[in-house]
Structure 1
Amino acid sequence: MTEHQPCELCQGTGGTMLWQDGRCRVVLVADADYPGFCRVIWTEHVKEMTDLDETERLHLMSIVFATEHVIRTVMNPDKINLASLGNMTPHLHWHVIPRFEHDPHFPQPVWATRLRDADATWHHEALLPRLKQALIHLLGQPTS
């Protein structure tokens, strides 16, 4: 991304909004292969964790960990993958991905070569209210 290209995470939400406060938001990514895949996105356009001060880093990671907890509680995955890459979108965000032994890439990373077809056990639309309510219960009412 050059400085002339707009940032997709500054221009849009990056998924279906589940929860937000003044510093970050949690969104559900519409990915049929990985239902429950969430992103925790820092609102301000920064590239790296060390661009944040210590208090901001702690706040962001508390939201990442709360999101992991909610996904584990709602979906009972075999594993959770946490990743902060940003190579293609250099805007600080964390991927929180529930993994199941039957998912298309398990045990490989979700970006690896597909090993099998997806098992549509979970549906995006059904997960949205459950994940949203669990985040609100854990983190409190969203703010803007």
Structure 2
Amino acid sequence: MTKISDCPLCHHTGDDVLWQNSQLRVIAVADADYPGLTRVIWNDHVKEMTELSPTQRTDLMAVVWQVEQALRHHMKPDKINLAQFGNMTPHLHWHIIPRWRADSRFPEAIWAPAPTRTPAQIAAWQKQSPLLAQKIAAYHGGLIAALAA
């Protein structure tokens, strides 16, 4: 297995690993602004999808789709964003990001500057966010069960 000493994704100390196999791992990301945010990280240090074999790409994307499906089922977001950049950390990984119309950056990307929000929009998110946080345990349990099957 290829590891790079200064790559934070090669060494997953402290990650909240929900599920893993010999090829990849699924990480819960604690982010109050985006409850349910999940990463799928390839274990070997590769930068691009095309560095994987066709079978490995299929295996990776099957897990990404399972994460998306579990998020849709348990968290009921308005939209799911899938992102695979690697510009800051050039190690193959996918962000599976549940989005709600009331979240602080919708409809922009979560990395974009936040658009101006009205007091009513801020209040709507403050009301919705704790309700979403209550669904995370069920989401994680359902995802783990789906990936273990």
Q: TM-score range by the shorter chain?
A: 0.7 to 0.9
- Alignment map for 1:75-86 (pairs within 5 Å): 75-86=75-86
Q: 1:134 aligns with which of 127, 142, 145?
A: 142
Correspondence 1:1-144 to 2 at 5 A = 6-12=6-12, 15-115=15-115, 116=117, 117=122, 119=126, 120-121=129-130, 122-123=132-133, 127=136, 129-140=137-148
| Largest Rg, 1 or 2 | 2
% same residue: 49
Range moving further from structure 2, 21-30 or 108-117: 108-117
SS at match of 1:10: coil
Q: CA RMSD in A?
A: 2.0
TM-score normalised by L of structure 1: 0.86
Return closer, same or farther for 1:134/1:69 CA change in 2, 3 Å cut-off. same
Any conservation in 2 of the 1:80–1:96 contact (CA below 8 Å)? yes
The CA deviation at 1:16 is 1.4
Q: Aligned to 2:19, what secondary structure does the other structure show?
A: strand
Q: Which moved more, 1:89-98 or 1:17-26?
A: 17-26
Residue 131 (structure 1) shift = 2.5
Instruction: Give secondary structure in 2 for the equivalent of 1:17.
Output: strand
Q: Is the 8 A contact 2:74 2:135 kept in 1?
A: no
Asked if 1 retains the 8 angstrom alpha-carbon contact of 2:75 and 2:135, the reply is no
Q: Kindly tell me the number of residue pairs found equivalent between the two proteins.
A: 136
**Residue aligned with 1:131, SS:** helix
Taking the aligned partners of 2:103 and 2:15, their CA distance within structure 1 comes to: 21
Q: 1:18, CA displacement in angstroms?
A: 1.0
Deviations 1:89-117 (A, max 9, x none): 00000000000000010011111111345
**1:111-137 alpha-carbon deviations (Å, 9 max, x no partner):** 1111345532322x861x323321222
- Give yes or no for contact 2:26–2:39 (8 Å, CA) kept in 1: yes
- Tell me how far apart the structure 2 counterparts of residues 81 and 13 of structure 1 sit (CA, whole Å): 26
Secondary structure, aligned partner of 2:140: helix
Instruction: Note closer, same or farther for the CA distance 1:78–1:29 as it changes in structure 2 (3 Å cut).
Output: same
